[in-house]
Every structure is written in C-alpha cells, then in structure tokens.
C-alpha cells in the first residue's frame, strides 16, 4: 500500500566512496539521479579508521561497518541491516556484486523473504578467478543468484554468467554509463596537446592489475619503438594505480621504453576527460572485463579505441565500426593495430565518430538511471 512516502532502498556494497571504482561510480551516478523517487541507505566496509561511520554522500546515507576482515563484514553488515530495517521499512534490498555484499544481502533475504532482492553484476575478473576465490563456499555462493528476485547485469557476458550459476529470476542487461555533460564541449583541448602530427599520444585508464593487460601495452610499446614501418613518435600515458605499479615500471625500464611510457598515477574521475582530450588513441588490452567503462569514456571524448574481444567489451565495440580488436596477450598484434590507426586517418576518424555517437545515444547515466528506476519500481513493496 502506498503511504505517500518514497520507497526506501537498502544497498549492500563492499566498497563505496571515497574508494572509487566502476561499481562505486555506478551507484553514485544512479542514486544522484533518483533522489526524488527513492530514499537510499548503503552499508559498506570501513577500509580506513579515519573514515566516518555515518555520512551522507549525494542522496545516500552511508553506514560504514568496522570489522577485522571482509569475512566478518558479511555478518556485521547483515546485523546492521536488520537493525536499520526495524525503523526504515525497506522496499528493496540491493546488492552490488555477488561477493561479500551479496552474502550479506542473502542473509537479509533469508530472514526477510517478502522484501525483494535486486542483484547487480559488475564483476570484471575472469570466471576462473572468481570461482577459485569462492572455493568451497561455491554452493552457498550460488544461492545469491538463486534467491535474487531480479538481476541487473552490466553486459550480456555477465547475464550469461548469472544464468550459468543458478539465476532463476528475470535478468536485465543495463550497462554502466558516462556523464555526457563532461564531454559536451567539443572544442575543449588539453593545454599540453602536441601540435606535431607525427607525434601521437596513446592513453589508457586502468587499475594496474593483471586482468587489465597493461604489461601487454608496455610490450607493445617496445614493438612500436623497434618498428621501421612508420616515422611516428609516441608516448603512452597510463592513468591509474594498483598492486602491479612497480612491476610494470620495471618492465618498461627493462624493455627500454621508460621514456615513452609515463605513469600518471591515480586521477580523480572528474579530471580524466582532460587527459583523454590530449590523446590520439585509447588502448586497454584486457584479459577479462565485465564491461569496460573506461572505453565508453574514451569513446565519448572522441578517441578511437583498441580493445580485446573478451567479457562485455563486444557489447559496444564492433571491430572496424566503433573500435578495433587486438588479440589478447599479443603485444605484436596490438602494436600493429596502433600503427594502423596512426597511418589510416580515415579509419581513425570513422571509429571516433561512430564511437562517440554510440555512447551519446545509448550510454548516458540519465538513460541508465531511468532503467534502474523502472526495475526498482516493479520490485517495490509498500507497507
């Protein structure tokens, strides 16, 4: 029964701002646009002791749970949810990914079966890696998929992943998106953009982890430097940080491309467009990918992109139409594809135009937020 109040949604997410990743950005972008329709509470892990236990970020009341590790977070998050539920009468419980937060949401669903459970799949790791981490919890982990009342997957790849692991409910493929407003100024140029047509800037925005294949990009830089096919000079800007930072720097030094490969480090999301606009090509030779939001941002900035045909990337990257595929784990092939875009200006321009058109038409956060709103409305239970 509608009591005149906005429906209230409880979100479980292992990480949230100020921790910034694709899933966290998605939650914030969506909730920022739906504050007039829903109230949101979010339970997350307190990674740093200086972070507040409770604060409001955008339209979300963020509750951070202190725990000795992520395993105990599962139970403490559930108990906090029960406490909050007694005063807040949640209409939907929403888990971001089928991992620690998913287990907390599963417990809550067991003891509150009438409250609908929405599961979002944002997983970017390979299925093999995920199953290895799940280990002997696998039968229990599958219950997260089986007990969900609706699943939102950010790619067709993840939708199939959900079905393979027990999902019985409707699954909607609703991708992550782009804040289109950041890319509307078509004549914006980064101050340091080179005016030399024979000098090219390759860029990647990526967490420095194995799955994103930055080592392949560095090896491709070595191939490009040795190539006699063209007279183009280049540099590679690597935006992002992660556990492989030092290892990748050593690799660049060992291959003799430390001058061409520039590690920028972590960049706040609002600043990323400034770097994209100084580049000529975006590259990420991923080994696995849930979707690949960095590609969408690069396409919105009008860059031709090179990726691999893995995970959710083929949802938006059509070879020769909206981007170019290179073979996974093949630096020579990647170098060849980069040279192709260096030399074929017509191809590069067509990819840029097609990619930007696609993102502006189908991948704006405004459109995606409305699609999530439709799901929440269908699931809502009014008391």
pLDDT digits (tens, 9 = 90+) for 181-210: 888 764 445 445 555 567 899 999 999 999
Residue 2 lies in a domain: no
Mean pLDDT, rounded, of the chain: 93
Residue 154 lies in a domain: yes
- Euclidean distance between CA atoms 248 and 13, whole angstroms: 30
Q: Give the confidence band of 383 by pLDDT, cuts at 50, 70, 90.
A: very low
- Euclidean distance between CA atoms 130 and 95, whole angstroms: 17
Give me the domain span that covers residue 127.
8-177+365-379
pLDDT at position 314 over 50: yes
- Euclidean distance between CA atoms 78 and 250, whole angstroms: 43
Kindly state whether residues 136 and 212 are assigned to the same domain. no
**pLDDT tens digit sequence for 88-115:** 999 999 999 999 999 999 999 999 999 9
pLDDT mean over 313-319? 97
**pLDDT tens digit sequence for 340-362:** 999 999 999 999 999 999 999 99
Residue 50 lies in a domain: yes
For residues 237 and 243, is the Cβ–Cβ distance under 8 A? no
CATH at residue 250: 3.40.50.2000
Q: How many CA atoms lie within 13 A of 213 on its CB side?
A: 27
Domain count, the chain: 2
**pLDDT tens digit sequence for 135-159:** 999 999 999 999 999 999 999 999 9
Kindly state whether residues 223 and 284 are assigned to the same domain. yes
Kindly state whether residues 172 and 185 are assigned to the same domain. no
pLDDT at 382: 46
Kindly state whether residues 194 and 95 are assigned to the same domain. no
Kindly state whether residues 224 and 143 are assigned to the same domain. no
pLDDT at 20: 85
pLDDT at 190: 46
Kindly state whether residues 320 and 373 are assigned to the same domain. no
Residue 84 lies in a domain: yes
Percent of the chain with pLDDT over 90: 88
Q: What is the pTM of this model?
A: 0.92
pLDDT at position 27 over 90: yes
pLDDT mean over 108-132? 95
Kindly state whether residues 302 and 210 are assigned to the same domain. yes
Kindly state whether residues 254 and 277 are assigned to the same domain. yes
pLDDT at 110: 97
pLDDT at 227: 82
DSSP 353: H
pLDDT at 230: 59
Residue 208 lies in a domain: yes
Q: Give the confidence band of 297 by pLDDT, cuts at 50, 70, 90.
A: very high
**pLDDT tens digit sequence for 32-76:** 999 999 999 999 999 999 999 999 999 999 999 999 999 999 999
Q: Is the dihedral of CA 207, 211, 215, 219 positive or negative?
A: negative
pLDDT at 111: 97
Q: Which has the closest alpha carbon to 97: 67, 118, 72, 70?
A: 118
Helix spans in the chain (H): 22-33, 70-88, 100-111, 127-134, 138-147, 156-164, 214-226, 245-254, 272-276, 293-300, 331-343, 345-362, 365-379
Q: Give the confidence band of 232 by pLDDT, cuts at 50, 70, 90.
A: confident
pLDDT at 186: 46
Kindly state whether residues 102 and 122 are assigned to the same domain. yes
Residue 217 lies in a domain: yes
pLDDT at position 292 over 80: yes
Kindly state whether residues 281 and 313 are assigned to the same domain. yes
Residue 91 lies in a domain: yes
Residue 272 lies in a domain: yes
């Amino acid at each position: 029964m509608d009591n005149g109040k906005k429906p209230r949604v409880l979100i479980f997410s292992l990480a949230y701002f100020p921790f910034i990743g694709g899933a966290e950005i998605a939650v914030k972008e969506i909730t920022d646009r739906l504050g007039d329709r829903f109230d949101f509470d979010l339970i997350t892990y307190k990674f740093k002791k200086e972070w507040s236990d409770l604060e409001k970020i955008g339209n979300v009341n963020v509750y951070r749970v202190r725990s000795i590790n992520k395993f105990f977070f599962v139970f403490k998050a559930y108990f906090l949810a029960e406490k909050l539920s007694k005063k807040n009468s949640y209409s939907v419980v929403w888990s971001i990914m089928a991992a620690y937060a998913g287990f907390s949401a599963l417990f809550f669903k067991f003891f509150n079966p009438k409250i609908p459970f929405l599961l979002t799949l944002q997983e970017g790791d390979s299925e093999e890696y995920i199953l290895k981490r799940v280990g002997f919890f696998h039968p229990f982990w599958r219950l997260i998929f089986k007990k969900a009342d609706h699943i939102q997957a950010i790619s067709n790849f993840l939708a199939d992943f959900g079905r393979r692991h027990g999902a019985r409910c409707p699954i909607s493929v609703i991708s992550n998106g782009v804040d289109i407003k950041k890319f509307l100024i078509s004549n914006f140029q980064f101050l340091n953009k080179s005016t030399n047509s024979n000098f090219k800037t390759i860029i990647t925005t990526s967490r420095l982890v194995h799955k994103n294949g930055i080592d392949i990009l560095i090896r491709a830089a070595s191939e490009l430097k040795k190539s006699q096919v063209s007279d183009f000079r280049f540099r590679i800007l690597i935006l992002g940080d992660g556990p492989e930072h030092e290892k990748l720097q050593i690799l660049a030094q060992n291959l003799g491309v430390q001058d061409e490969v520039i590690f920028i480090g972590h960049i706040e999301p609002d600043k990323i467009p400034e770097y994209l606009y100084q580049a000529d090509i975006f590259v990420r030779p991923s080994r696995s990918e849930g979707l690949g939001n960095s590609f969408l941002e690069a396409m919105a900035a009008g860059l031709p992109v090179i990726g691999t045909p893995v995970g959710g990337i083929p949802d938006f990257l059509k070879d020769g139409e909206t981007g170019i595929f290179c073979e996974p784990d093949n630096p020579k092939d990647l170098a060849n594809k980069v040279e192709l875009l260096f030399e074929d200006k017509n191809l590069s321009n067509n990819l840029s135009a097609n990619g930007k058109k696609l993102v502006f038409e189908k991948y704006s956060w405004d459109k995606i937020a409305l699609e999530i709103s439709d799901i929440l409305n269908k699931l809502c239970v009014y008391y």
